[in-house]
Amino acid sequence: MVFNAVSSRVRWAFSAVAILFMSHLIPSEMDFILPLSDLHLQVDPWATLALSPGARRDVAKATIVKSATHYKSRTNKKHEKLLIVLQTPHAGTITYVVTDRGPDPDEMEARRNEPSSMSLSPVVSSAKLSSGDVWANDKVFIPGTRRFQSLDRYKKHLGEQYDSLCTVTLNAPMSLAQLAVLLQAVYQHSVHYQLLTYQCYWYAYTVWEILRKEFGGAVSQNKLEDKRGKYMGVNIRREDSVEAITNAYKSAWVAFCNEETRTRQQAEDIIRQAEERGRAGERGRYEEERRELEGYRRMGPLKAQIPECNHELFSSRPYFTGLLKQCSFTLRVFRFLQFHFHVHLRSRF
């Protein structure tokens, strides 16, 4: 027992040191899956961040969804959520996303403070707040790297209040970009939280089932799986939106891929146009040099010595050889005349 405790502490210390160094090496474009501090965001802005053109989108496409586990709270609320495991392109680092649905807390607080609700009994008031058109709060949680909690430690912590109902391990490749598009499609299917239809049970069930049907492989189940979508043992009505949202997700993913292709083609067109402008500028400079050399060719007695101006002017070896010979001959004549001039002067004096 003592040895196990010591070895566990040693492993924890080494992992803490590794995480400390890792946090300083993580590229900034991975801040939406490996943030420095814990990240709590609504699904829509988080998905928009992950799918934004540039380096973040490349990271989202390279991050792989490994599995999804359906959890149910043992507290009175019986809340349900999903734990989705990810493998990032940063040295294969494993992280996770926790996602669930609830009513918008700000709107719920505002409705509780409405004067009309003061005269209602607590039961009627609660039912009125829950069943009305309240904005949904679909959210994600991603652990920060500064105080990173490993997957096993988080599962242990989660197990203190939640039961693991079932896990699907994906055997078909699914990227984080696809997961972001899927979560957006779920939110857009119903942007309102409704207690009897579009609640946390519906959200967790729908996302999990789409992952299982579209990408899933092995499913681990236990005796607690029957608790899905139940409150105090009673089935809570939920919309069966799996097929409709699957179709919406597929259409949204095709549109995303088409938009990405158009963006890439536009970038390639811009680069090609810049290269063409560069080549046109080179041609302009060449023509300017050609005209300048043509002007030199037409100058005075050197006209017969300079060949026709073309792009091979500077590689014309016969021309330069002849020119060097003429210069050498001229120099010898100059030295001959200089010598005889000095001889003549000495003979005079």
Query: Tens digit of pLDDT for each residue in 322-340?
Result: 666 677 677 766 777 766 6
Dist CA 14 CA 184 (whole Å): 38
Q: Which has more pLDDT, 323 or 143?
A: 143
Range in 128-132, 169-173, 227-231 the model is least confident about: 128-132
Clarify whether residues 41 and 97 are in a common domain: yes
User: Which domain range does residue 346 map to?
Assistant: 317-349
Domain annotation covers residue 1: no
Clarify whether residues 235 and 147 are in a common domain: yes
% helix, strand, coil for the chain, step of 5: 60, 15, 25
Clarify whether residues 291 and 346 are in a common domain: no
Clarify whether residues 198 and 295 are in a common domain: no
Dist CA 177 CA 194 (whole Å): 28
Task: Among 195, 220, 240, identify where a domain stops.
Answer: 240
Clarify whether residues 90 and 170 are in a common domain: yes
- For the chain, the domain total comes to 3
3-state SS, residue 185: helix
What pTM did the predictor assign? Answer: 0.69
pLDDT by residue (tens digit) across 232-287?
A: 777 776 778 999 999 999 999 999 999 989 987 877 778 878 887 888 777 777 77
Clarify whether residues 311 and 208 are in a common domain: no
Domain annotation covers residue 127: no
Confidence class of residue 126 from pLDDT cuts 50, 70 and 90?
very low
Confidence class of residue 342 from pLDDT cuts 50, 70 and 90?
low
Clarify whether residues 33 and 159 are in a common domain: yes
Dist CA 349 CA 341 (whole Å): 13
Instruction: Say whether pLDDT at 92 is over 50.
Output: yes
Clarify whether residues 82 and 156 are in a common domain: yes
Domain annotation covers residue 194: yes
Clarify whether residues 143 and 44 are in a common domain: yes
Which pLDDT score, from 0 to 100, does residue 231 have?
81
Clarify whether residues 74 and 172 are in a common domain: yes
Dist CA 248 CA 26 (whole Å): 34
Domain annotation covers residue 185: yes
Which pLDDT score, from 0 to 100, does residue 112 have?
78
Clarify whether residues 32 and 173 are in a common domain: yes
Clarify whether residues 174 and 261 are in a common domain: no
